[in-house]
């Protein structure tokens, strides 16, 4: 079988913009404080009636349009998310129904900020072994509903949005060259959403009062160092696997975690920041959705052209990290 390639991309960002100046109105913070530490100026916030599947639906429709496909043609849907509409059924099931993808099998993948690369890996394997002929891979998050809006160390970071790609076998030399994924469960508590699972069941006034249902970051400085290390290692692994050098890569599409992390990664890889696609200033950290959103933007604004080598990389809670090298 030939390579599996991305034949369509799409993304969606909610209309509401929440700026750093808006946060100044109720937090002990400032635009300068946030920007110098994170690189973020603003983020998007889903409307009250919008769930994760609603954001994903628009991104998927745009990806399908780019691929020249109808929802009825889709055979597999994989949704990467840590903020599904419901824990049961899966977020992908809601998405399948809203798209009208009546012939698709759908499932969720949970790998925090590396979720899109994990979902891409799962979908590629299904297609390579011939179980399905095409796949719709989406990543969608409503992170703003997981936050303690009194905690300035965490609530300033996150935003909402969705991205998606369509995968098919390609006949030329384009396509996914390799995907590499890793986990370290022993250090998963550095980024934690403790409430809502079996450990805190049933949900109670006490668990809510203790804010167990909001996102918590432990040892942020240590997480910074680990993220830089894993981002860099993931890139180097993809290049070594394919016998290529970083100079061969046209653009790096990283998870938009923190501008300082991306700058440190670029320094370790010895590449100029011009080679690293960055949109965190406008959107913040959207967990699993940042990579496909940035990928779609880079395709549509002409940064990525036919034949370019594109390197995707991410690091997130779990701990999870990974990369994918793609010939466009």
Residue percentage of the chain with pLDDT more than 90: 83
Tens of pLDDT, residue by residue over 65-123, are 999 999 999 999 999 999 999 999 999 999 999 999 999 999 999 999 999 999 999 99
Q: Is the pLDDT of residue 190 over 80?
A: no
Q: Is the pLDDT of residue 245 over 80?
A: yes
Residues 4-172, CATH architecture: 3-Layer(aba) Sandwich (3.40)
Distance CA 77, CA 92 (A): 7
Q: What is the pLDDT of residue 204?
A: 79
Residue 76 has phi, psi (to 5 degrees) of: -140, 130
- Going by CATH, does the domain composed of 177-327 fall within 3.40.47.10? yes
Q: Are 176 and 5 in contact (CB under 8 A)?
A: yes
Q: What is the pLDDT of residue 219?
A: 60
Nearest to 308 by CA among 328, 278, 285: 328
Q: Are 315 and 321 in contact (CB under 8 A)?
A: yes
Which residues of the chain form CATH 3.40.47.10? Answer: 4-172, 177-327
Q: Is the pLDDT of residue 27 over 90?
A: yes
CA distances from 57 to 95, 127, 136 (A): 6, 22, 11
Q: What is the pTM of this model?
A: 0.96
* Residue 113 bears catalytic tag: yes
Distance CA 217, CA 49 (A): 28
Q: What is the pLDDT of residue 199?
A: 79
* Residue 285 bears catalytic tag: yes
Q: What is the pLDDT of residue 174?
A: 94
Lowest average pLDDT, out of 55-64, 84-93, 165-174, 201-210, goes to 201-210
Residue 241 has phi, psi (to 5 degrees) of: -60, -35
Lowest average pLDDT, out of 39-53, 65-79, 187-201, 226-240, goes to 187-201
Instruction: Please name the residue ranges forming H helices in 242-272.
Output: 259-269
Residue 41 has phi, psi (to 5 degrees) of: -105, -35
pLDDT tier for residue 220 given thresholds of 50, 70 and 90: low
Q: Are 31 and 203 in contact (CB under 8 A)?
A: no
Give helix 259-269 / helix 31-38 axis angle, nearest 10°.
Answer: 30
Q: How far apart are the first and last CA of the chain?
A: 18
Mean pLDDT of the region 42-56: 98
Strands 105-109 and 76-80, bridge-based pairing: parallel
Tens of pLDDT, residue by residue over 259-307, are 999 999 999 999 999 999 999 999 999 999 999 999 999 999 999 999 9
Mean pLDDT of the region 233-246: 97
Candidate list 20, 134, 255, 258, residue with the active-site label: 255
* Residue 155 bears catalytic tag: no
Mean pLDDT of the region 133-153: 95
Candidate list 60, 113, 155, 235, residue with the active-site label: 113
Mean pLDDT of the region 19-43: 96
């Amino acid at each position: 079988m030939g390579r599996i390639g991305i034949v369509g991309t799409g993304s969606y960002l909610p209309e509401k913009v929440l700026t750093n100046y808006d946060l100044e109105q109720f937090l002990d913070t400032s635009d300068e404080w946030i920007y110098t530490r994170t690189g973020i100026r603003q983020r998007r916030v889903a409307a009250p009636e919008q769930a994760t599947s609603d954001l994903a639906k628009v991104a998927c429709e745009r990806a399908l349009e780019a691929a020249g496909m109808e929802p009825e043609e889709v055979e597999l849907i994989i949704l990467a998310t840590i903020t599904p509409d419901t824990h049961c059924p899966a977020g992908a099931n809601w998405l399948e129904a809203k798209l009208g993808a009546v012939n698709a099998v759908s499932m969720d993948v949970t790998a925090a900020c590396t979720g899109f690369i994990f979902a891409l890996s799962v979908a590629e394997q299904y297609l390579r072994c011939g179980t399905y002929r095409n796949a719709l891979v989406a990543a969608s998050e409503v992170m703003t509903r997981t936050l303690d809006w009194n905690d300035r160390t965490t609530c300033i970071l996150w935003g909402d949005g969705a991205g998606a790609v369509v995968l098919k076998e390609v006949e030329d030399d384009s396509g996914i060259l390799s995907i590499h994924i890793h986990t370290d469960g022993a250090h998963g508590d550095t980024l934690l959403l403790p409430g809502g699972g079996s450990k805190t069941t049933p949900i109670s006034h006490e668990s809510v009062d203790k804010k167990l249902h909001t996102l918590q970051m432990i040892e942020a400085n240590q997480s910074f160092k680990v993220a830089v290390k894993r981002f860099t290692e993931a890139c180097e692994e993809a290049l070594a696997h394919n016998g290529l050098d970083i100079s061969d890569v046209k653009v790096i599409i990283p998870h938009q975690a923190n501008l300082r992390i991306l700058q440190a990664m670029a320094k370790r890889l010895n590449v100029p920041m011009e080679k690293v696609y960055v949109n965190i200033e406008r959107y913040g950290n959207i967990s699993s959705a940042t990579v496909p959103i940035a990928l779609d933007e880079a395709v549509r604004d002409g940064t990525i052209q036919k034949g370019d080598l594109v390197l995707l990389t991410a690091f997130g809670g779990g701990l999870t990290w990974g990369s994918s090298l793609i010939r466009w």
